[in-house]
Structure 1
Amino acid sequence: MTYRVSPQVPPPLALVNARVVDGARDQEVRGGVLVLDGTIAAFGPDVTPAALPAGIPLVDCRGDVVTTGLIDMRAFVGEPGAEYRETIASATTAAAVGGVTTVLARPDTFPPVDEAAVVDFLLRRARDTGRVRLLPTAALTKGLKGEEIAEIGLLLQAGAIAFSNGRTSVRNAQVMRRLLAYSKDFDGLIIHYAEDADLVGDGVMNEGERASRLGLAGIPREAEAVMLDRDMRLVNLTRARYHAALVTTKLSVDIIRAAKAQGLPVTCATSINHLTLNENDIGDYRTFLKVAPPLRDEDERLALVEALAEGVIDVIVSDHDPQDVETKRLPFAEAEYGALGIETMLSAGLRLVTSGHLSLPRLIRALSTRPAEILGLAQGRLEIGAPADLIRFDPEEPFIVDRKKLHSRSRNTPFDQARLEGRVKLTLVGGEIVYEVSGAGEALLS
C-alpha cells in the first residue's frame, strides 16, 4: 500500500472507454466521465480520447462500469468508544475498497451522538483519518433511552445529517409524535428502526418452521410491522419526513406502499443481507448470519427484491455492524447480532442483476442516487458540477470472499468463502483517487 497527501485541488482526470451507468436517468451508455477541479465536467458518449483537450490524464476503463460512488445510509463505525470493533479509519478504508464514497455513521456509540460536541468529534476524526465522506447521524433521544428528545436543532447546526436511535426503537408513541413534530420545524429526517421489543421477546431468528427445527425462539414478522404501522399513523398526524431504517417483510412493504399512496413523506431501506440471503443460509447455527432484524424465508426475500424493483423500497444499505470475534464465538442464541457489509455490498447486490431481478441502473439508483436525493446531497448523481465521487468496477470479475483479507477491523462477514462478482478497481472522492487497483496491485491513497 502507498499513501500520499491530497492536494487542495485534485488534478484533472478522464475515465474513458467505459459503460457509464446513470441511476437517476435509468440508463447506460458507452463513453466516459471528465473530472475537473474535483467535479464532473462532462459525461456520456462524447467523452472520448479524441474529443478531450491535450494533456488530460486518461484512465482506459476497458469496458468496465463507471458510475457514482455508493452512499451507505446505515453503518456502525466504532468511534467513539468501540474502537476494538471498528474505527473511522478502518470503516472508511473498507468503504473505499467496496466503492462506497459516503457513509452515514450510526449514533449508538459510547457515548452516543446526542450532543453537539460528539458530532464535532466525529467530523474532525473523519477529516483527519477518514478516506471517504462520513456524515454523523445524531441520536433521536438523549442517551438513546427513548424518553427525552435530543436537541435536534443544535445537532443539525453542529453537522448531523439525520436522526436515529440506532438499533432500538422509540417505544413511547407520545415521544415519537413529539420527535416527528419537532423535526419537521427543522426539515430534519428521522431514520427509525421499527421493532416492537415486547413482540421480539427472547426471539433470535425468524419465527417459523426453520426456527422450530433448530430449537431457537422465533421473532414474528409482526414485531416489525406493528411498530412501522404506528409510525405511519404518527407521520400522517405530523407530516414530518420519515425513513424506515430497515424493512424486511412483505407486511412492512405493504405498509410503506400504502403510506406512499397517501402521499406521506416516507421512504425506506432494506439491507443487502435481507436481499441476498435467507434463513436457510444460517445452516448449522452460523452466528455470522445472526442479524437484526433476522433473515427471513425465501418468499419474504423475493418480496423485498420485487418491492425494490418496483420502487417501493428506496434504498439498499450495508447495515455494517462489526462485532468482536468473542461475541460471535458463542451458541447462536447468545451470540451478538450484526454482520459486516460495507465492503461487499456492491458485489452482493450484483447477484440481483445477474439473476435478472434488477437492472444495473436500478441497483445503482438504490445504492447511490436515491440516498443522495433523500439526504439532500450534491453527490450521487451524474450531473455537470456535481462532486466527482465516482467508482470503476468490473461487474463480471469473480472473487472468493476471504474474511481475513477484508479491511474492517472485525471479521464477521456473512459472505465468508462465498463466490461473488464485481471487483472495484477505482474509487474517487471529490475527484481525488482514494483507492486504485492497477497492475502493481492494490493501493490505498490519501
Structure 2
Amino acid sequence: MELTIMFVSLAVMLVIGVPVAVSLGLASLIYVLLSDLPDVVVFHNMTNGINSFPLLAIPFFILAGHLMNTAGITTKIFNFARAMVGWLPGGLGHVNVGASVLFAGMSGAAVADAGGLGNVEIKAMRDAGYDTDFSVGITAASSTIGPIIPPSLPLVIYGVMASVSIGELFAAGLVPGLLMAVSLMVMVAWLARKRNYPKDERFELCRLWTTFKEAFLPLLTPGIIIGGIVTGAFTPTEAAVAAVVYALFLGLVVYRSLSWRHLVRVSIDTIETTAAILMIVAAAAIFAWILTANQVATTLGDALLGLTTNKQMVLLIMMAMVLVIGLFMETIAAITILVPVLLPIAAQVGIDPVHLGIIVILNLMIGLLTPPIGMVLYVLAEVSGVSFEKCVKATMPFLVPLITVLMLIVFFPQIALFLPEMFYR
C-alpha cells in the first residue's frame, strides 16, 4: 500500500510540474513516514548516493564543456567540419553531424551540444536556404551523439550506479556513436536528394588544411581524455580534471578568448548544473533504495522471465520500459532509478552490464527528442525561435536512424563490446 502511494505521489508531482529531484525526494519521504521508518533514513541514503569519487568527474566535464563553448572553440570545430564534409549533397546537414561527433569528445552532454553548436549550426543552415524543420531536426538528432561517444556524463552516472568500469563504458560508446553519425548522414543524404538541397562549398584541400590547423588543438581533447584512460595514465575522474586544465590552457594562453569575467560566469553555470544533477542523483538514491528494499527488481524480473527467457526478447522488453520512462523523466533520474531494477534482470539472462549501459543511454537519448520531457527540444526551441511543437515535428523523421542503430546494438552486442574486450578483458 505504501509503495503504491509513493508511485502515485511521484506521478502526480511530475504531472503538475514539480522538479524531478523534489518529486523523487518527497515521494520517498511519504513512503518513509507511512512505513514508520526513521526520518534519518532519507538523508542517510541521499548522502550515500552522492558519496562517490567517480561522481567528481561530473562537474569537471561540465566545466570543460562550458569553457570550450565560451572560448569560441565550437566555431573552429564547425569550420573544420564544414571544410571536411560540406562538399557533399546537403552539405551543412553533414557538417552538423560531423561537428557533433567532434564536439562529443569535449562536452559529453546532449544539451551542451544543442546549446553550444546549435546556435551556430541552425544560423548557418538558415542563411544557406535550408528548411527550418530540416535544420532543427538534424541539430536535435546529432546532439544525442555527445553522451554516447566518450567522455559521457550519463555513462559516468551509469558506471557509478552499476559498479561497472567507466573506462570500459567509454570504450564501448565509441563505435555505436560513430554508427549513429553514419546513419544520420545517410538520412541527410536521402533528404538532400529528395528536397534538392545544395552542396555547401566545393572541396578545397588548402581550406581543409587551414581549418584543421585552427581546430587542431581543440581536437586533441578527446585524445587526451580517452588516451589517458585507455593507457592507464589517469582515471576517468582525473581525465575530467585534465580536460578542464587543457580547456583553460586553450582559452587563456593559446586563443586568449577567456577573461576573468567569463571564468566567473562559467563557474557559476557549472555549479548550478552540477547541483541540479547531484540533487537528482541524491533523491533518486533513496527512491532506488526503497525499490530494492521492497524487492521490486526481483518481482519485476520474475514476471518478465515468466514471459520469456530469450536474451534478445528480454532486452527488447527492457528497452520498451526504458523508452516509456525516458518520455517522462530526465536522463540522470531515469538512470539512477532504472539501473537497480534492470541490472539484476540482465544478470539472470547473461546480458553484459557494459552492453546494457550503452543501449540504456542511447534509449534515453531518444527520450531527449520526444515530448513531454524532451530537454534538447526545449533548448533548440529557445535557440532557433521555433515553437516546441514544431521542433517535435521536425525531429520525428530523424528518430528512424537512431532507433535503427539501437536495434542493431541490441541484436549485435559486439558492436559495443568490441573495444572493451580488446583493451580491458
For the criterion TM > 0.5, the same-fold answer is no
TM-score by length of 1: 0.30
Greater relative contact order structure (CA < 8 Å, 6+ sep) = 2
TM-score by length of 2: 0.31
Name whichever structure is richer in helix by fraction.
Answer: 2
Name whichever structure is richer in strand by fraction.
Answer: 1
